[in-house]
Amino acid sequence: MKKFLYIVIFLLIAIIITNKVAKKFLKQTKIEKVDFINNIKLIYGSDYKDYIEVYKQQSTPVIYSPLTEFRESPKNQSFVSVSKIGNRCNEINITKCESAKGGENEIWIFGGSTVFGYGLKNNETISAHLDKLIIDKKVINFGQGYFNSTQSRIFFQNLLTYLPKPHSVIFMEGFNEFKINQIHNYKFPIKTALSENYESIVNKKKRTTNEKLINWIKNRFNRLNIVRLIKENLITKNKSNDFSYDTTKNLDQAYIALINRLKTNFKINKSIAKNFEIQILNIMEPISLSRDNYLSSNLPESYFKNFNKHIFHHKKVYKLIESNFDLLNLVDLNLVDLYSSEKMFIDLTHYSKNFSKEIALKIQKSLQM
């Protein structure tokens, strides 16, 4: 019995040591601990410590939201503040982020994380800049990380059922519409970034105690650094089954389906706005991948090598959009190729504070106030 106990203790110690050693070699760990800080310094310069805090504050988990599946969680923090109903506030260091009230005094803007303003403080987002430019209206930021155009539309419709209609509504869409997970799931039903998570929760069968224990052990085992390292380096993944890796495959069917989805949502937005007598702007947002504008960030080119497949697909899909006049006729402001001599992007997707201001200026000129 003692011999068996010694063996168990020895194995546990060996696993702990091996696990700690393996952590040093994991790519993900290196990116998280080293590259992250270095990249923040490159992007933001001397103010980088503030933005480390911004990234921490924006990284709180999303919460469940009926009909859209999820949304940004409410928070009252120094740089990132979100109200109970999901709008981000336009000021920093506030005690409480007030919820939108609706009415002719408000302009609502919807979109994904670019509208929310990932990587920016409350007062640096497109919404905040637009709020300063339009004196007699309050601009409400309903941007939500990971949202596609269907979620934005549903969120808008849901708000209209219990708040007075706003003066104007803005939908700024594009990048999230054509992400890899969307190309995979272009057929009905439409999936969000978290659909598969919810699906597994709702559809799972009642598990026995033994099944729960086995599942718990399996999950813990897969989290071990040594297991992750083996998967990362020794297990050859068969990427030929994943069409997002196959740059030779014709994916026009998927691209066109996603373009049609965006077109339909823009069309529905216009119909709702017309019936409710709300001024509307459908906007194609600036996309760093369509013309390699992401290289305008301070990040080294090596950073972007991990995103080659995203760059490839976005170039292809935006080539198709250029000739899709049915979609373009529904677009009130096309900013896809908006260019600035200053740094436009802070990463592959998200805008710098100066570029956010330029976008706000373009929107202000297009709104008929």
The domains of the chain, with CATH numbers, are: 9-366 (3.40.50.1110)
| Under 8 Å between Cβ of 110 and 340 | no
Backbone phi, psi, residue 43, to 5°: -75, -45
**What would the mean pLDDT of 301-321 be, rounded to a whole number?**
81
pLDDT of residue 84 exceeding 90: yes
| Under 8 Å between Cβ of 153 and 182 | no
Mean pLDDT over the full length of the chain: 84
CA angle 312, 317, 318 (to 5 degrees): 100
Per-residue exposure over 234-246, b if at least 16 CB sit within 10 Å of its own CB, e if not? eeeeeeeeebbee
**What would the mean pLDDT of 151-165 be, rounded to a whole number?**
97
pLDDT of residue 213 exceeding 70: no
Torsion sign (Cα): 357, 362, 365, 367: negative
Q: Give the pLDDT score at 234.
A: 58
Q: Give the pLDDT score at 25.
A: 62
pLDDT tier, 268 (very low <50, low <70, confident <90, very high otherwise): very high
Locus of tokens 């030929």: 240
